[in-house]
Amino acid sequence: MPPESHPPPPVSRRIRMLSEGTINRIAAGEVIERPAAVVRELVENALDAGAHRIAISVQGGGITRIEVIDDGCGMEAPDLALAVQRHATSKLADDDLVRIETLGFRGEALPSIGAAARLSITSRTPHAPHAATIRVEGGHVGDAAPSAGAPGTRVVVEDLFFATPARRKFLKTPRAEADAVEVAVRRLALAAPHVAFRHETDGRLVFELPAQDRATRVATLLGPDAAAVLRPVDGARGQLVLTGFACLPTVSRVTVAAQTLIVNGRPVADPVLRTAVRVAYRDVIAFGRHGIVVLYLNLPPDELDVNVHPAKAEVRFHDPAEIRALVIGSLGRALSGGAAQAAPLSFARRPPLQLIRPAERSMGFSEPALALPIPPSARQAPPPPSPSGFPLGAPVAQVLDTYVIAVAADGSLVLVDQHAAHERLTHEALRAQLLDGGVRAQPLLLPSVVDLPHADAARLAHHATALARLGLELEPFGPGAILVRALPALLGAPDPAPLLRDLAEELAEHDESTALEARLDAAIARLACHGSVRAGRKLGVAEMDALLRQMEATPRAATCSHGRPTFLKFSRAEIERLFGRR
């Protein structure tokens, strides 16, 4: 038999102090993990210095060279020598870390950069006769010397991470690093719209922005498609104040990169705020898509801990639940406009239309059929033919028993998905009843027994009290079965079996860690889907007109409960482009 193996004896090593250079390089890795972090730190210093203009230029993704020039208060030679020492800062008047009101405060950025790169700082105060320059290479600090320079500060960082090659090896391509730098500069420009910004990459001008008001800066940096559907966000809870802008869900992104969250003037990547934004958009945006927001949260400094990580990108709130409620409520109000206020999907972001041969699919016009809750008078007479005064226009026909065609007052062609639209109308009607005390129930003439997997039946029975608020009265009926006594009156008489199966899945996804309100809202979305007029259902002209008018008056009617668009609008220019006229 092989001899029994034993671990090698421990090697005795004496504990020693690390050298100052090694300490600085370790600290540098925490503060400046990539070029974008260097740019962020330097621009934050410029903002703290009261700059009115900031110019950023990078080469090779910031790995080769970074230059940041500002017209701030500048530094004198003695302060310049102190600025490159660790834990030296002008941002804290005392040792109080509770009320931090500046972007920087640790005194680590410049020495960390100097420990990992070749750093040159030239600075001049407004009344000084000349500037002063200091150089740091791989942690070795030179003397401050007189030099020429305009009032303000010019920082040049070259050969980033030459002193820490292991970190340099894990950087991404120069193009990817340049993109990350641009994202960082854009977020800082959004945080300080009163400051003019100029940003260049490899000699190419990325953007140049004058000092602007907040709305103009946001619209400029988000681009024309997002700017067209921006809505103001405004809310307050005590000393918490939230302002900013949110895009309607008709314009969204596949990542959260277009979400800028600014707390007390500091761009942050905070999970509390990210989650609140996701929840606010959850039932108006398609799965896998993300809303576009620029939010400014202001709160007393002592209610916020920014001393969580050396990079200062993370914060900690004293009352995160209050923050979540403020963000969700304020965004919900901003997104609650009806279809009349929402811009439809742009033609440029829609796939090209596919021509359908007559032999492959028939197209017919509808016969009158009562599918919507409309007033009796509307059932007896068609609507007026003129679309004047109605943003979604007057109905013309129904295509494929699924889509309503309408013509707006400006001649635009409107195409409405009847199921998606009615789903949103039903969703909002159910929500309104719930907020008014409870969804009205319609007792069944004969209670219905629905067989389900044991776990699903147990889950529904556990939530029976909450579901009763939604007009759904049920009770356990032996192992793996549920007895349904009443359904929400708005739904008509759907088959309860698929409805209960979907509700059980929804409740499983939104477990006990999710607030009851969130679980109920998700359940309402399921109820609305099952209670809406289906695709393939023929509608009369009066019913189509009632659908359009209700969409114009209903909050969030531009999308269904799953975030899909309820209508598309083709302008004259888009129609002419389809036919090659332009």
SS3 for 179?
A: helix
CA distances from 308 to 43, 268, 312, 313 (A): 20, 12, 7, 9
Residues in the chain: 582
CA distances from 64 to 118, 173, 197, 202 (A): 10, 12, 22, 10
Query: How many CA atoms lie within 13 Å of 1's alpha carbon, on the beta-carbon side?
Result: 3
pLDDT of residue 521: 64
Count CB neighbours of 46 within 10 A: 27
205 plus 300 within the same structural domain:
no
Asked if residue 27 belongs to a domain, the reply is yes
User: In the block, which residue shows the tokens 């193009």?
Assistant: 175
| Rounded Cα gap, residues 118 and 135, in angstroms | 7
Task: Collect contacts of 95-99 with beta carbons under 8 A, ≥24 apart.
Answer: 97/307, 98/301, 98/302, 99/301, 99/302
Partnered with residue 415 across adjacent β-strands are 405, 568
pLDDT of residue 101: 53
pTM of this structure: 0.64
* DSSP one-letter string for 291-354: --EEEEEE--GGGEE-TTSTT----EES-HHHHHHHHHHHHHHHT---GGGSPPPPGGGSPPPP
543 plus 519 within the same structural domain:
yes
Task: Collect contacts of 396-405 with beta carbons under 8 A, ≥24 apart.
Answer: 397/365, 397/366, 398/365, 398/366, 398/538, 398/539, 398/544, 399/363, 400/361, 400/363, 401/364, 401/366, 401/535, 401/536, 401/537, 401/538, 402/535, 402/536, 404/539, 404/544, 404/547, 404/548
Which residue range forms the structural domain that includes residue 282? 214-335
202 plus 230 within the same structural domain:
no
| Rounded Cα gap, residues 67 and 120, in angstroms | 10
pLDDT of residue 91: 46
140 plus 30 within the same structural domain:
yes
CATH number, domain of 420, equals 3.30.1370.100
Asked if residue 146 belongs to a domain, the reply is yes
User: In the block, which residue shows the tokens 């939530």?
Assistant: 463
The percentage of residues in the chain with a pLDDT greater than 70, rounded to a whole number, is 76
Which amino acid is it at 280?
A
CATH number, domain of 231, equals 3.30.230.10
Query: How many CA atoms lie within 13 Å of 40's alpha carbon, on the beta-carbon side?
Result: 27
530 plus 569 within the same structural domain:
yes
What is the tens place of the pLDDT at every residue in 508-559?
Answer: 765 544 545 555 666 677 777 766 666 667 888 888 888 888 888 888 888 8
468 plus 366 within the same structural domain:
yes
First to last CA, the chain: 86
Asked if residue 14 belongs to a domain, the reply is no
Query: How many CA atoms lie within 13 Å of 392's alpha carbon, on the beta-carbon side?
Result: 30
Angle in degrees, CA 376, 379, 381, rounded to 5: 115
172 plus 62 within the same structural domain:
yes
pLDDT of residue 536: 67
Which residues of the chain are under the pLDDT cut of 70? 1-31, 86-107, 306-313, 337-389, 509-523, 530-536, 582
Asked if residue 361 belongs to a domain, the reply is yes
Asked if residue 344 belongs to a domain, the reply is no
C-alpha dihedral sign at 567, 572, 573, 576: positive
130 plus 37 within the same structural domain:
yes
Helix (H) or strand (E) holding 551: helix 541-553
**Is 187:43 a contact under the CB 8 Å cutoff?**
no
- Of 335, 365, 383, the last residue of a domain is 335
What is the tens place of the pLDDT at every residue in 322-342?
Answer: 999 999 999 988 887 655 555
Q: At what angle do helices 109-116 and 20-31 cross, to 10 degrees?
A: 110
- DSSP label at residue 565: B
Total count of domains within the chain: 3
pLDDT of residue 60: 94
- Of 165, 183, 209, the last residue of a domain is 209
298 plus 383 within the same structural domain:
no
445 plus 552 within the same structural domain:
yes
Asked if residue 230 belongs to a domain, the reply is yes
CA distances from 530 to 179, 261, 423, 497, 511 (A): 45, 37, 8, 11, 22
Cα–Cα nearest to 574, from 368, 352, 321, 327: 352
Token output for 105: 């405060």
